[in-house]
Structure 1
């Protein structure tokens, strides 16, 4: 399930892309749908972020940015992987936390 390859120099660019993509999956308005993010830790160090948006009727879609693997995995509201985006350039993970 290889998807597109993108590059993001700054964490906020990556966050904006993830927010837009998660909202598009379920036709949610990004202006009305907050994005939540949580640092992903491995061995005590931050190695990525977990994102999710919540919509009406307990709808919840999520994404995981693995800085170590250089990819973002998107999941639908049932927990099924919906999309994968490879990153040719990732932001510095220490700035993400």
Structure 2
């Protein structure tokens, strides 16, 4: 099977897709499970984000949007990579700076 390719041109669309996918992965109710986001920065400019949801019994699943690579990589609650998708269209990472981040931007080497 080939790699899934999606067009998610707006930050809201990307976040909604990630939220839905993370919740489906562990059978969580999206209405009861908030999505958290941390902006990633390289050389002072936004270059992606880490998203995560937290469920019962300290369950935590996450996804990394690597804007420069046009990819979203999903991880399960054990930290193992569960899937990856390519983006044919994605938001401008500068949109992350325009929105209030959940946390202070993390630095990427």
TM-score (norm 2): 0.85
Tell me the residue number matched to 1:96. 96
Tell me the residue number matched to 1:59. 59
Following superposition, the deviation at residue 44 of structure 1 comes to 1.4
Matches of 1:60 and 1:31, distance apart in 2: 16
- Is structure 2 residue 28 aligned with structure 1 residue 37? no
Q: How many residues align?
A: 97
SS at the partner of 1:22?
helix
- Any unmatched runs of 5+ in structure 1? none
Following superposition, the deviation at residue 9 of structure 1 comes to 1.5
Q: For the pair shown, which has the larger CA radius of gyration, 1 or 2?
A: 2
Matches of 1:94 and 1:65, distance apart in 2: 13
Tell me the residue number matched to 1:79. 79
Divergent runs of 4+, >6 A: none
- Any unmatched runs of 5+ in structure 2? 98-109
Map Cα deviations across residues 46-71 of structure 1 (whole Å, 9 max, x no partner). 10010000000000000000000000
Following superposition, the deviation at residue 96 of structure 1 comes to 2.1
- Is structure 2 residue 7 aligned with structure 1 residue 7? yes
Matches of 2:47 and 2:70, distance apart in 1: 10
Task: Give me the CA root mean square deviation.
Answer: 1.3
